[in-house]
Amino acid sequence: MANSQRGLTTMKPTRIIIISAVLLFAITAIALAQQNPAQKPSDVLSLFFRNHLDRILSPIGQRVPVPLPHARVAELREKFADQWSKAPDVDKPMYQAAVAVCDAVSAAMDERQKAIASLQGSAAVHGPSDLGAHRKDIPTRGTRADAQLAGLELQREGHEEQNRKQEAAQNDNFFNMQLKANWSQRAAQLRQNINALYSRERDAERSAQQPAAADTITLDKPIQVKVKYGTAMITAGTTLPVVSRNANGVVVQYMWAKVCCYRRDAN
């Protein structure tokens, strides 16, 4: 009997410690949840923009290729689309707008890749420098004058060939510069479009956070209503909160009472 009592005595502190630990864990989890509420789409997109948007819209033709975050954008889009499908109606517009932002960023990355491909293609294909001119060889037979004339002709052809190469290089450089300038202008337009879509998403968030407008009616003429201790006259222009609506009329809150101030069969 004494042994069983000692066993019970040793069990009680252990159980108390376990229960205390469970309670502490629960309290800590609740506190962390309150400190780290679910992130809004704008918070996630803002962090993404800080890390990636400038690189996506940076100039093309750099020696070191710019890595594009295709996988991250696809991940964000899938997340927002899932939240969109599960959210209440009041929150759906902000997730829909967040998906539109992801689609715009994906389209910007696709355009960047096409611009880079065009630039690389122009670098691989140079303008023609040989216009089909036939070089005159130095004759093995003939007078010294003929040889001198042939040598002068070779020098002339050499100068012409050099000039043609310089002109082709200038044309290639001009075309490449034009492609880079075109991308810079397009990148500015893409940034403006992405920012506009992001602003719409922020507006949708603010609309979702605003409380729903109260259902009220404003009397266009004075009306007499029954109250607990008699009747009361409500003057025209009074705005009253609607408690309920039905086929026969509208019940509103007047002072401390709920009264029917409008009957459809009266009109």
Q: Are 133 and 160 in contact (CB under 8 A)?
A: yes
Q: Are 247 and 240 in contact (CB under 8 A)?
A: no
User: What pLDDT, in 10s, does the model give residues 58-110?
Assistant: 999 888 888 999 999 999 999 999 999 999 999 999 999 999 999 999 999 99
| Structure confidence by residue, pLDDT tens digits, 201-249 | 999 999 888 765 667 888 888 888 777 667 778 888 888 888 887 777 7
Return d(Cα 240, Cα 152) in angstroms, integer.
Answer: 105
At 183 the three-state DSSP class reads helix
Mean pLDDT computed over every residue of the chain: 77
Place of tokens 């929150």: 91
The answer to whether the beta carbons of residues 69 and 54 sit under 8 Å apart is: no
Residue 31 has pLDDT above 50, yes or no: no
Position 108 scores a pLDDT of 97
CB 46 within 8 A of CB 195: no
What's the CA gap between 173 and 201, in Å, rounded?
A: 42
Reported confidence tier of residue 33, pLDDT bands at 50, 70, 90: very low
Do the strands 239-245 and 249-254 form a parallel or antiparallel pair, or are they unpaired? Answer: antiparallel
- pTM, 2 dp: 0.56
d(CA 267, CA 251): 16
Distance CA 227, CA 104 (A): 60
- How confident is residue 41, by pLDDT bands cut at 50, 70 and 90? very high
Q: How high is the pLDDT of residue 244?
A: 82
Query: What is the DSSP annotation of 105-124?
Result: HHHHHHHHHHHHHHHHHHHH
Of 117, 120, 110, 119, which Cα lies nearest the Cα of 180?
Answer: 119
Q: Give the Å distances, CA to CA, from 110 to 11, 69, 105, 187.
A: 67, 11, 9, 12
Could you list the beta-strand ranges (E) of 105-229.
216-218, 223-227
pLDDT band at 22 (very low <50, low <70, confident <90, very high): very low
Q: What are the tokens at 124?
A: 């691989």
52-55 contacts, C-beta under 8 A, 24 or more apart: 53/105, 53/191, 53/194
